[in-house]
Structure 1
Amino acid sequence: MYIVGLTGGIATGKSTVSAMLAELGAYIIDTDKIAHNLVLPGQPAFHAVVAHFGGGIVRSDGNLNREVLGEIIFKNPEERTCLERITHPFIEEQVNEDIKKGEELGYKLVVVDVPLLFEVGWQNRVDEVWVVYVDQKVQISRLIARNQLTYEQAQVRINAQLHVKEKAKQADVVIDNTLDTENTKKQVVSAWQDVCNRAQKLIVEKV
């Protein structure tokens, strides 16, 4: 199994690239979706998160108030680290299960979408890293529009992650999503064809 780690900064368009890869036939493991499901009511991670952060992060309907939790962790690095310590073991376990599932289905190449790939050291768990990049002005503008944040709130969330330029420096493949969707798609198609060739070559060499 050849594993690609897909990452990028917040609001750089990582989900867009992931969707394009899925259209091309990639087997996608989305750790954001995994994390979302892990903190639904009744899940072990939900109870652990509420035990640490308190009942104030729970809505009246019993679900997690993600907006309140987001404000807490983006303003306080220690609390963000604590949340990661609670959730990451659960996420890692599910990713491993999904990789095995992909192998059972006959896939030779899997894309693991990990927003904080470098921050949690997952670059050492994949065969290559793809980073989705945009200019920071574009990143801030998109984040404000998408999440209805103030400029200051958007800046705090961006600064909570490793700068996307630093991520790009450590990448094997950089997808520049600053321009239009068509431009991005051309890059994704080209990169996908290349990685399929690399993966096939590696698999043949191992055999």
Structure 2
Amino acid sequence: MKVVGITGRSGCGKSSATNFLRERGYPCIDADLVAREVLLPGSPCIAKLQAVFGADIADENGQVRRRLLADRAFATPEGTAALTAITQPEILRRIDAALAEAERGGAKLAFVDGAVIVGTPFEQRCDALILVTAPYDTSVARICARDGIVPEMARRRLDAQTPLETLRAAATAELVNDAAPEVLRQKLQSIVQRLEKEEYA
């Protein structure tokens, strides 16, 4: 089974691409959702995080106070590294389990959708990497519409993300999402057909 990563910066339309693939019956794993799940009550990560960032980062019901955790973790480079060291192995374990299940089900292609793939250990697991891009101003407008924020905040969010040049250097294929949804689907279908023929080895 070939593992294909789908990545892109905020507002590029990555979710639209993944939804199309899911509708076509391909296994699609949302890495960003998995990253949120590892902070849900019962996760083995929570006790480890409490040991580093304080017991009060979770309430009496085991619910993580995400803003408090973020404030402490991202205050220093060491804190950010500690957060990653605790959560990343569990995220990767869950993604690997979902991929193994897809392979047992007979899938020839499985897609993993994640904003942060490039530069993480999971990048090495990808047989191919599709980068979804959109013009900068288009992405800003989409972020504003989706999250109800002003353009300045949307631009700040975009500018803090991994540079496009870095993502392009890692990508097997780039999918420019600057037209109607139907055009995106056609472009994606073309890439998937090439993946199935193993043109992106």
If the length of structure 2 is used for normalisation, what is the TM-score? 0.83
Tell me how large the CA RMSD over aligned residues is. Answer: 2.9
Deviation at 1:18, TM superposition (A): 0.7
Q: Which residue of 1 aligns with 2:110?
A: 110
Give 1:71-150 correspondences, 5 Å limit.
Answer: 79-150=79-150
Give the letter for the 2:97 counterpart: E
Deviation at 1:152, TM superposition (A): 4.5
Change (3 A) 1:32 1:88: same
Deviation at 1:69, TM superposition (A): 5.1
Q: Secondary structure at the match of 1:117?
A: coil
Q: Which residue of 1 aligns with 2:37?
A: 37
Q: Which deviates more from structure 2 when the two are superposed, residues 48-57 or residues 178-187?
A: 48-57
Q: Which residue of 2 aligns with 1:12?
A: 12
Give the letter for the 2:161 counterpart: Q
Given that 1:26 and 1:110 are in contact with CA atoms closer than 8 Å, whether structure 2 keeps it comes out as yes
Q: Which residue of 2 aligns with 1:157?
A: 157
Q: Which deviates more from structure 2 when the two are superposed, residues 61-70 or residues 117-126?
A: 61-70
Q: Which residue of 1 aligns with 2:176?
A: 176
Q: Which residue of 2 aligns with 1:196?
A: 196
Deviation at 1:175, TM superposition (A): 1.2
Change (3 A) 1:158 1:43: same
Work out the number of aligned pairs and report it: 201
Given that 1:21 and 1:192 are in contact with CA atoms closer than 8 Å, whether structure 2 keeps it comes out as no
Deviation at 1:115, TM superposition (A): 1.6
Deviation at 1:130, TM superposition (A): 0.4
If the length of structure 1 is used for normalisation, what is the TM-score? 0.80
Give the letter for the 1:97 counterpart: A
Unpaired segments ≥5 residues, structure 2: none
